[in-house]
Amino acid sequence: MLNKGILNPYINSLISRVRHNNILVIADRGFTNFPLVEIVDISLVDDIPSVLQVFEALKPNFDICQIYMAEEFNLENTRAIQDKYKKAYGRIPVTFEPSDEMKKRVPNAIGIIRTADSIQYANMVLVSGRVED
C-alpha cells in the first residue's frame, strides 16, 4: 500500500509511463478536452486542487526539463500569481507561447491531469528529462 508521495493510482499510472522527452499536462478546470488523450480528473471544488499544488506534488517524482505555458497567462494574471509560479518552476526553463500553439503539443501527451484551478491559462505542459546544469 502506498503511504507517501503520489497516492492517486491513476496519476501514478501516468507517471510510470512517462519516459525521456514525454509530455504530461496539468490542466485547469476549463482546459480543452482531448478525447484521444487519457484524462485523470481530480477536481473537487473550486481551486482544489490547483495546478500549482499538483505541480509541487509531481516535481519530486520525475524529472522535468521544460515547461510550456500560454503567453496569455502573463497577460491575464497579476504579478503576484506570476511570481508564485516562477518560484515553483525553480531552474526548470519555461517557454510562453500562444495558447493555441501550446495546445498543439497536447495530443502527444501521455496524459492530462485536470484540476479545479480557476486561474486563467494556468495549464502546464511538462516535458520529461533532466535540466542541464
C-alpha cell at 59: 516535481
Question: How many whole angstroms separate alpha carbon 113 and alpha carbon 52?
Answer: 12
pTM assigned to the model: 0.94
Sign of the four-CA dihedral 93, 99, 100, 106: positive
Domains of the chain: 20-128 (3.40.1650.10)
pLDDT of residue 133: 55
Tens digit of each residue's pLDDT (9 = 90 or more) over 40-72: 999 999 999 999 999 999 998 779 999 999 999
Q: What is the mean pLDDT of residues 29-36?
A: 94
Look at residue 4 in the predicted model and tell me its pLDDT. 79
Q: Which amino acid is at 32?
A: T
